Amino acid sequence: MKQELLKEIIKKKENKVEFAIITNLENGESCIFEKKKPVDKNFEKHIEKINFYFDKKKNGIIEETNIFIETYIRPIKVIIVGAVHIAQYLVDFAKSLNFEISIIDPRGYFASEQRFPGIKIINKWPKEAFKEISTNSQTALIALTHDPKIDDPALQYAIKNKFFYIGALGSKKTHENRCKRLKEANIKDEDIKKIFGPIGIKLGGRSAPEIALSIISQLVSEVYKK
């Protein structure tokens, strides 16, 4: 592989483009494959098979060829509401797990660049903040403020937009009250039930990094259930 190609791959990853690296194992030549873009001449013969593997997001040697394909998918988006202490640890875990993090918090003193270097921070109320993020059914929401003014609108947005994971921090009591409020706001029971609250799997710890670990563990396990 040429270093130029390596640099191009890194750039595509940073720009969150979906692509594949295809390598001819017989002559060592490799190139980038992107949907609907012309493919290198050396690989034209197998274009149908390459497309098939690409669509299935499969990695491996393409059947009856000497071509190895590795597909790169976009990272899963995780939106954290509340730039609190736990969020600082969540960001660390999420980095190694390659989740794409955005943080929403209207309180400027929490959501500072200094506390979250290199992370997309939106210093607005959820309703306004969501206008700046494109979301879909592959997006997750982690609500951490346990302040109804901030968490509730974000939870409602996530429910309406069918996020695959919605979790909210708070005790059982806090969560019961939250559910009541959402019901009053005409959110369906079945949707309210989908919220993970109290958030996280039971690990036992109560420190910020332990709670962050319990949340991220739950999130990862939900990724593979969908």
Partner 1 sequence: MKNSFDEKILNEANDWKNAKQKVVLATVIQTWGSSPRAVGSRMIVNENGDFSGSVSGGCVETAVVRECVNLIKEKKLFKKIEFKVSNESAWEIGLACGGEIAIFLEEIK
Amino acid identity at 77:
K
Tell the smallest beta-carbon distance from residue 169 to partner 1 (Å): 22
Residue position matching structure tokens 């483009």: 17
Tell the smallest beta-carbon distance from residue 138 to partner 1 (Å): 6
Give the span between the Cα atoms of 173 and 128, in whole angstroms. Answer: 29
Residue number, 9 or 208, with CB nearest to partner 1: 9
Residue number, 12 or 85, with CB nearest to partner 1: 12
Positions in the binding site for partner 1 (CB under 8 A): 1-3, 6-7, 9-10, 13, 23, 25, 28, 30, 57, 59-61, 68, 70, 72-76, 97-99, 138, 164, 220, 223-224, 226
Comparing C-alpha atoms, which of 162, 126, 127 is closest to residue 144?
126
Tell the smallest beta-carbon distance from residue 142 to partner 1 (Å): 15
Tell the smallest beta-carbon distance from residue 131 to partner 1 (Å): 25
Give the other-Cβ count within 10 Å of 118's Cβ. Answer: 9
Residue number, 93 or 110, with CB nearest to partner 1: 93
Helices first, then strands: H and E counts in the chain:
8, 9
Give the span between the Cα atoms of 32 and 34, in whole angstroms. Answer: 7
Give the span between the Cα atoms of 152 and 158, in whole angstroms. Answer: 10
Residue number, 68 or 125, with CB nearest to partner 1: 68
